[in-house]
């Protein structure tokens, strides 16, 4: 796509959009600032043999794996053997020299500070499924970036109609949907969700994400209601395998992260045993995200050096419990309890009995990251009474430790 003006409207040159195969080919980037830093990921992803020449590269550029960095000024001969060049310094004279040297070698060169005087321009590029697209706007980088973002959103949401009858590869993707806010799903998770033929969704998977799917997508409710109705794990495994075996692409959409109390590995094992291709997309996990949404850091320099995430699915002393509550009580750091709403009293008693101070701050975060988020603050001695008096309901995260007393205005 190009938004360049025609030669009759301002004299702007048209550019010829082309996809370059840079795999294994030398690319020279002169300059090591923020512009180079933004360009490097795509060059590396394309498999280019990247050489950076910069007097003072940023730490991010200098530490980028898989590239060669020369900390010095640009000199004659730096472009020898290059297939593609980028002039990205903050010195216009150096950039002009690089462009001139590249042109003598018949090598295309991008000039970052003045695109009109280079022999190539970098489009604002995006990807939808297996399709890459680029936008040029006559050197107006803000316009091209804005158009790129708009196209990407339209493709993801389905408002830009693209005829795509090609079958997707069958298989299963376990996608973490994040703590609740639909905007907190990862980019990769969102992309895979848009490709799904079937979505097997947990109760805590953000429902707004399901509402954006087309009518052709089969949605299977795999909700597990706390202490109530639940789809058995064996049935979930069977659905994943059956639909994928029938040639469908299946997304198992979970709240939080698939591997943090999400039974994700059980589902991976079921798919592997059945010969079904499976991939795991990590999600933003609620034991970290919910406290953050409430203004609580689970770690803080000089306050805590450890974070323990424990399941509240079974109480202390239960034969099925794998948690050493007396050991946890002796720790000085942060304890985050999940699935603990019904047993706050039991966990508080165990921690107090193990030596945790009664005045230890406690924060209980209900519906973390959602508009209905509610935060209850108390201490360990009064945690059970506060939860009962305030009718704490799942899903909720319980944070125990000094950081639970923090607010965004305190450190």
The string of pLDDT tens digits covering residues 375-387 is 999 999 999 999 9
Instruction: Give the angle subtended at the CA of 181 by the CAs of 177 and 185, to the nearest 5°.
Output: 35
Write out the DSSP string of 27-69.
EEEE--SHHHHHHHHHHHHTT-EEEEEESS--HHHHT-TT-EE
List the catalytic residue out of 197, 202, 248, 257. 202
Residue 216 burial (C-beta neighbours within 10 Å; 0-12, 13-18, 19+): exposed
What is the rounded distance in angstroms from the CA atom of residue 364 to the CA atom of residue 348?
A: 13
pLDDT at 168: 67
pLDDT at 154: 79
26 or 203, greater pLDDT: 26
* Residue 25 CB partners (closer than 8 Å, separation 6+): 48, 49, 83, 84
pLDDT at 326: 95
The string of pLDDT tens digits covering residues 297-348 is 999 999 999 999 999 999 999 999 999 999 999 999 999 999 999 999 999 9
Instruction: Give the angle subtended at the CA of 118 by the CAs of 115 and 120, to the nearest 5°.
Output: 90
Local structure of residue 136 (DSSP, 8 states): B
Residue 57 burial (C-beta neighbours within 10 Å; 0-12, 13-18, 19+): buried
Q: Per-residue confidence at 243, pLDDT binned at 50, 70, 90?
A: very high
Question: Are the C-beta atoms of residues 273 and 237 closer than 8 Å to each other?
Answer: no
Asked if the model's pLDDT at residue 281 lies above 80, the reply is yes
Is 202 assigned a catalytic role? yes
Is 140 assigned a catalytic role? no
pLDDT at 127: 73
What is the rounded distance in angstroms from the CA atom of residue 208 to the CA atom of residue 186?
A: 15
CA nearest 364: which of 373, 351, 354?
373
- The encoded tokens of residue 19 equal 């996809």
Distance of CA 101 to the CA centre of its chain: 40
Alpha carbon dihedral 177, 181, 182, 188, in 10-degree steps, equals -40
The string of pLDDT tens digits covering residues 196-239 is 999 999 989 998 898 888 888 999 988 755 555 568 899 999 99
The string of pLDDT tens digits covering residues 330-343 is 999 999 999 999 99
E strands present in 137-239: 171-176, 198-201, 218-221
Backbone dihedral angles phi then psi of residue 125, each to the nearest 5 degrees? -110, 155
The string of pLDDT tens digits covering residues 35-89 is 999 899 889 989 999 999 999 999 999 999 999 999 999 999 999 999 999 999 9
Asked if the model's pLDDT at residue 10 lies above 50, the reply is no
Q: What is the pTM assigned to this prediction?
A: 0.73
List the catalytic residue out of 4, 113, 140, 224. 224
Q: Please, what is the average pLDDT of the chain? A: 89
Token look-up 């018949």 returns: 106
Instruction: Report the half-sphere exposure of 327 (CA within 13 A, side-chain side).
Output: 5
What is the rounded distance in angstroms from the CA atom of residue 404 to the CA atom of residue 398?
A: 9
pLDDT at 143: 84
Angle, helix 264-273 to helix 233-245, in steps of 10 degrees = 40
* Arithmetic mean of pLDDT, 169-176: 93
Asked if the model's pLDDT at residue 6 lies above 50, the reply is no
């Amino acid at each position: 796509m190009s938004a360049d003006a025609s030669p009759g409207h301002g004299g702007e040159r048209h550019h010829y959009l082309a996809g370059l195969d840079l795999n294994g080919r030398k690319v020279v980037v002169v300059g090591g600032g923020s512009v180079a830093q933004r360009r490097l990921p795509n060059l590396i992803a394309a498999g280019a043999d990247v050489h950076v020449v910069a007097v003072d590269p940023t730490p991010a550029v200098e530490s980028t794996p898989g590239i060669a960095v020369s900390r010095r000024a640009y000199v004659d001969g730096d472009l020898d053997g290059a297939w593609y060049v980028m002039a990205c310094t903050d010195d216009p004279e150096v950039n002009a020299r690089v462009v001139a040297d590249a042109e003598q070698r018949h090598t295309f060169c991008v000039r970052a500070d003045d695109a009109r005087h280079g022999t190539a321009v970098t489009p604002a590029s995006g990807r939808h499924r297996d399709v890459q697209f680029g936008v040029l706007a006559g050197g107006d980088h803000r316009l091209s970036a804005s158009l790129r973002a708009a196209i990407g959103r339209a493709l993801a949401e389905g408002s830009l109609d693209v005829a795509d009858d090609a079958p997707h590869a069958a298989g299963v993707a376990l996608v973490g949907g994040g703590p609740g806010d639909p905007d907190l799903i990862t980019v990769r998770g969102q992309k895979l969700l848009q490709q799904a033929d079937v979505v097997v969704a947990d109760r805590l998977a953000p429902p707004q994400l399901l509402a954006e799917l087309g009518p052709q997508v089969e949605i299977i409710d795999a909700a597990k209601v706390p202490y109530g109705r639940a789809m058995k794990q064996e049935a979930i495994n069977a659905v994943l395998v059956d639909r994928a075996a029938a040639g469908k692409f299946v997304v198992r959409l979970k709240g939080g992260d698939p591997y943090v109390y999400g039974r994700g590995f059980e589902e991976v094992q079921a798919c592997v045993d059945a010969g079904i291709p499976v991939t795991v997309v990590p999600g933003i996990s609620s034991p970290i995200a919910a406290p953050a949404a409430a203004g609580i850091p689970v770690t803080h320099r000089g306050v805590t050096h450890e974070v323990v995430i424990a399941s509240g699915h079974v109480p202390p002393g239960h034969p099925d419990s794998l948690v050493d509550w007396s050991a946890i009580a002796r720790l000085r750091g942060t304890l985050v309890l999940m699935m603990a709403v019904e047993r706050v009293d039991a966990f508080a008693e165990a921690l107090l009995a193990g030596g945790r101070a009664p005045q230890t701050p406690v924060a209980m975060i209900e519906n973390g990251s959602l508009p209905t988020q509610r935060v209850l603050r108390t201490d360990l001695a009064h945690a059970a009474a506060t939860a009962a008096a305030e009718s704490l309901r799942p899903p909720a995260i319980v944070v125990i430790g000094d950081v639970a007393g923090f607010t965004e205005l305190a450190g």
